[in-house]
Structure 1
Amino acid sequence: MKTQRILSGMRPTGRLHLGHYTGALENWVERQNETLADGSRAYETYFLVADYHSLTTSLDTSPLDQNSIEMVTDWLAAGIDPEKSPVFRQSRIKEHTELFLIFSMLITASRLERNPTLKDQIRDLNMDAITYGHLGYPVLQAADILLYKGNTVPVGEDQIPHVEITREIARRFNNQYQHPGTGSVFEEPEPKITRFSRLVGLDGTAKMSKSLGNTILLGDTEEEITAKMRKAVTDTEKLRKNDPGRPEVCAVFSYHKRFTRSQDIDEIEKECRSGALGCVDCKKRCVDSIIRELAPLHEKRAFYADKPGLVRQILEDGEQRARERAQATMREVREAMRLG
């Protein structure tokens, strides 16, 4: 097996929460550090601050700079190694928009309108109108991936339609244009289905969301985690300590399943069902588990949070490395197209 190349990214929304950690960051760090039998890296990884993508839902750019620094601080704290993985802002690499423009000529509006993920977003955001940029954001995603010759895309099931659009665009480009020396410019990337561990919100809703105020942030102190967990929704039918509980409907137990040591989970479930474990004590044990896992992350986060200049330098270094890769790809594209 040869080394594969991955590009992943997030919109810069500022400080990240446990849902981001279990749903994406853990997977990123695992792929970054995975090795082949001969000791070489299994994946060459690039991590993107998707600030252009933020414009599809908000035109206010004033928070993007600080949000990017906060988000990258959390990435570094979680284990992203900038020596292995260039970390960079999308808007600092102008080749993203150039390739996006070219790719936008290779796909129809009707094809993009059939994208089921777009339909879900329109419904969830209660949008009564959609911009050209929002309609075309899967095309920008295709440019993001293919600009770095990404050939593996780690996604959940719901993101498969985006990967298929990327594959269609790569195929269409290769059918239309061939490089005089190397032939096809792009590989069609393969989706790598990843079971993202999505955490429910503290209020019991389907997922953590800062807009709903139901999150535990990666940088929260022990006191803040304790205070937030104290308000977390439990089994509404378990009113007193001795009442039997239903762990399967309890938000706190879903956190136990992720953060508590496996040898303790069966005991917690049994004591909850019997009524021997009250919700107050259950929450305290859950807080202890979360704090234990986040302790190394908190230490690294404190280091980077005190050095925003270092975080900016890491971004600038990543942007230089990413720019070199992007410029090489665009030279191939222009030579294949006989443009520029």
Structure 2
Amino acid sequence: MTEQNPAPATASSAEDALARSTDEASLARSLARSEQIQADLDVNPGRYRMLTGVRPTGNMHLGHYFGTMRSWKAIQDRGVDTWILVADYQVITDRDGVGPIRERVLSLVADTLAVGVDPSRSTVFAHSAVPAANQLILPFLSLVTESELHRNPTVKAELEATAGRAMSGLMLTYPVHQAADILFCQANLVPVGKDQLPHLEQARLIAQRFDRRYGRAVKDHPVFRRPEALLSEAPLLLGLDGEKMSKSRHNTIELRMSADETAAVLKKAKTDSQRVITFDPAARPEVSNLLTLASLCGAGAPEQIAESIGDAGAGALKALVTEAVNEYFAPVRARRAELVADEAHLLAVLRQGNDRAREVAQTTLDAVRTAMHMTY
């Protein structure tokens, strides 16, 4: 029996190598296409509608800002039709309840406007307020297989994290919900990290399969545009405890924090026992993370910051980071305070975005029903 083990292991290794090679080739193509799109945005911004979304599961933090939020205004200002999804329905994909959902939704709207999104040029809307978009999930589910859903990285990770607990049907079909979010509004540009490419590919497959199965609503005109990735090399910021930055771990610096609150949490940030400050992400991840954060906030290159601190130790590093963060985010926080004080304005922005999203979603659903010969 033991002599039979090497063959399966070799086959598995070969399959793994082939999968890695395929993934690397696919990523290379996605990067090349993303670079082409970046170049085209300044020339033909009207060709694109960008959609991005955030789950209101807690308060937005600096990881969200540097990872994606700061790009929203830049994309909007280039003339791209920008859509920001407050994915409130998606809160319950991996949770037993919605929590203080209203507070968190309005907080997210305030954050969105505070970082520069202009509701007169961009659409900010809530998932649950657009029933026609969610209705697309039904035909979309007929276009995917159970095995495809299980292969999705997010679904696989959730299954591994449940430790034997049954996965909800909502979590299993999460990639289909994301496809509906993207396709209902005819978005053809989605900012993503490399790990999110499988979700975007699932949306493209659903759009292609729909056309093959049901035809097109109008001759030579597909029902859905094909979404493409705008890949970003977002900096990976660790949490203040040296682990992955996460709302659930309470290891973040939130956008809404005051300067004093920021100083208090940064004083507790994990560093190491070495007094001389150096930038070495592999050997000194916590110290290097703080240097990266200061650099992102305009204090200079991480290596230069480290050299300027020298042997002054972690205290001097934390003081410098605190000053850089508070200075960088002062305008955002001031604007946010004004917005939070005017709940009526936040609700008006959301209603305006919801109205536009519902109008577009109904147009798309009508095209879907026409293609499916369900107009009666």
Distance in structure 1 (CA, Å) of the matches to 2:118 and 2:338: 14
- 8 Å CA contact retained: 2:299, 2:305: no
Distance in structure 1 (CA, Å) of the matches to 2:220 and 2:164: 44
Partner of 1:132 in structure 2?
169
Distance in structure 2 (CA, Å) of the matches to 1:125 and 1:75: 32
Task: Kindly state the Cα deviation for residue 246 of structure 1 after the two structures are TM-superposed.
Answer: 3.5
Q: Would the alpha carbon gap of residues 306 and 125 (structure 1) be closer, same or farther in structure 2, given more than 3 Å must change? A: farther
Task: Kindly state the Cα deviation for residue 266 of structure 1 after the two structures are TM-superposed.
Answer: 4.1
Partner of 2:128 in structure 1?
91
Work out which of the residue numbers 244, 247, 250 in structure 2 matches 1:213: 250
- 8 Å CA contact retained: 1:229, 1:283: yes
Partner of 2:267 in structure 1?
230
Please state if 1:309 is matched with 2:344: yes
Partner of 1:38 in structure 2?
none
- 8 Å CA contact retained: 1:203, 1:214: yes
Please state if 1:115 is matched with 2:152: yes
Task: Kindly state the Cα deviation for residue 187 of structure 1 after the two structures are TM-superposed.
Answer: 2.1
Distance in structure 2 (CA, Å) of the matches to 1:182 and 1:94: 28
The total of aligned residue pairs comes to 324
Q: What residue identity is the alignment partner of 1:185?
A: V
Partner of 1:37 in structure 2?
none
Distance in structure 1 (CA, Å) of the matches to 2:246 and 2:363: 38
Distance in structure 2 (CA, Å) of the matches to 1:254 and 1:287: 13
Task: Kindly state the Cα deviation for residue 62 of structure 1 after the two structures are TM-superposed.
Answer: 4.5
Distance in structure 2 (CA, Å) of the matches to 1:48 and 1:170: 20
Distance in structure 1 (CA, Å) of the matches to 2:153 and 2:99: 31
Partner of 2:279 in structure 1?
247
Work out which of the residue numbers 17, 33, 46 in structure 1 matches 2:77: 33
- 8 Å CA contact retained: 1:96, 1:140: no
Please state if 1:10 is matched with 2:47: no
- 8 Å CA contact retained: 2:186, 2:224: yes
Work out which of the residue numbers 169, 175, 197 in structure 1 matches 2:212: 175
Task: Kindly state the Cα deviation for residue 325 of structure 1 after the two structures are TM-superposed.
Answer: 0.9
The residue matched to 1:54 in structure 2 has which SS?
Answer: helix
Partner of 2:90 in structure 1?
53
How do residues 166-205 of structure 1 correspond to structure 2 at under 5 angstroms?
Answer: 166-177=203-214, 178-181=216-219, 183-205=221-243
The residue matched to 1:191 in structure 2 has which SS?
Answer: strand
The residue matched to 1:247 in structure 2 has which SS?
Answer: coil
Partner of 2:366 in structure 1?
331
Q: What residue identity is the alignment partner of 1:14?
A: G
Distance in structure 2 (CA, Å) of the matches to 1:339 and 1:299: 51
Partner of 2:138 in structure 1?
101
Give per-residue Cα distances to partners, 1:134-172, cap 9 Å, x unaligned. Answer: 111110111110101111121100001101111110000
The residue matched to 1:8 in structure 2 has which SS?
Answer: strand
The residue matched to 2:125 in structure 1 has which SS?
Answer: strand
Superposition CA RMSD, Å: 1.7
Partner of 1:298 in structure 2?
333
Query: Normalising to structure 2: TM-score of the pair?
Result: 0.82
Q: What residue identity is the alignment partner of 1:201?
A: G
- 8 Å CA contact retained: 1:14, 1:69: no
Query: Normalising to structure 1: TM-score of the pair?
Result: 0.90
- 8 Å CA contact retained: 2:140, 2:176: yes
- Percent of counterpart pairs with the same letter? 36
Partner of 1:287 in structure 2?
322
- Unaligned runs of 5+ residues in structure 2 are 1-43
- 8 Å CA contact retained: 1:13, 1:71: no
- 8 Å CA contact retained: 1:45, 1:86: yes
Task: Kindly state the Cα deviation for residue 225 of structure 1 after the two structures are TM-superposed.
Answer: 0.6
Higher helix share: 2
Distance in structure 2 (CA, Å) of the matches to 1:124 and 1:292: 39
Q: What residue identity is the alignment partner of 2:119?
A: P
Please state if 1:82 is matched with 2:119: yes
- Unaligned runs of 5+ residues in structure 1 are 35-40
- 8 Å CA contact retained: 1:44, 1:85: yes
Give per-residue Cα distances to partners, 1:191-227, cap 9 Å, x unaligned. Answer: 121112231101111x321221211111111110111
Q: Would the alpha carbon gap of residues 182 and 326 (structure 1) be closer, same or farther in structure 2, given more than 3 Å must change? A: farther
Work out which of the residue numbers 64, 67, 73 in structure 1 matches 2:110: 73
Task: Kindly state the Cα deviation for residue 125 of structure 1 after the two structures are TM-superposed.
Answer: 5.2
Give per-residue Cα distances to partners, 1:75-113, cap 9 Å, x unaligned. Answer: 111111111111111101001221011111111111111
Task: Kindly state the Cα deviation for residue 117 of structure 1 after the two structures are TM-superposed.
Answer: 2.5
Task: Kindly state the Cα deviation for residue 114 of structure 1 after the two structures are TM-superposed.
Answer: 1.2
Distance in structure 1 (CA, Å) of the matches to 2:230 and 2:328: 27
- 8 Å CA contact retained: 1:29, 1:80: yes
Distance in structure 2 (CA, Å) of the matches to 1:174 and 1:27: 32
Distance in structure 2 (CA, Å) of the matches to 1:143 and 1:199: 30
The residue matched to 2:93 in structure 1 has which SS?
Answer: coil
